[in-house]
Amino acid sequence: MLLIGLQNPTAQTLAVDETISLGNVYRRFDKPNDCGIYAFTNTSTGITLNRKGIYHITANFYPSAAFAGTITLLENGVPVPGAIANGENLTIDYYVVVDSNCGWTSNAKTISFTTDTALTLDNVVVNITKEVA
């Protein structure tokens, strides 16, 4: 199993529709395939799923105060219907399928998160495991 975990324990104040900073990698197990392509690449605001497979995403958001809005998972910048966190349980648990083939990265998907309401997050933890090749 391949995995990546990112955490941002630094408080961040977000405006409406702003992309959430995911922070830094705190754990990673990722090996290149026969074509030299790693399963994960990341920036501070997104994780790209580069290889064919099914990926399990678990994202936890910890606001500094009660939150009445919605946090949404984005695939390549497009909101994913149903992949949201709201209310008292700010967790997104979702599966993403990437159907690229060896050496083709055009079908890779970049995962990020946004909020529809201004808020301050005290901590963000995102874990992704590659479940099926």
Under the banding of pLDDT at 50, 70 and 90, the label for residue 102 is low
3-state secondary structure 33-85: CCCCCCCEEECCCCEEECCCEEEEEEEEEEECCCCCCEEEEEECCEEEEEEEE
- The whole-number pLDDT of residue 106 equals 61
* pLDDT tens per residue across span 9-42: 999 999 999 999 999 999 999 999 888 889 999 9
Instruction: Determine the length of the chain.
Output: 133
Residue 103 has pLDDT above 80, yes or no: no
- The whole-number pLDDT of residue 1 equals 81
Q: Are strands 119-132 and 2-8 parallel, antiparallel or unpaired?
A: antiparallel
Under the banding of pLDDT at 50, 70 and 90, the label for residue 52 is confident
pTM of the shown model: 0.93
- The whole-number pLDDT of residue 10 equals 96
Buried b / exposed e over 53-92, threshold 16 CB at 10 Å, is bebbbebbbebeeebebebbbbbeeeebeebbbeeeebeb
Under the banding of pLDDT at 50, 70 and 90, the label for residue 123 is very high
- The whole-number pLDDT of residue 101 equals 59
Q: Calculate mean pLDDT across residues 70-77.
A: 96
* Torsional sign, CA 65, 67, 73, 78: negative
- The whole-number pLDDT of residue 127 equals 98
Of 5, 2, 76, which Cα lies nearest the Cα of 37?
2
Amino acid at 97: V
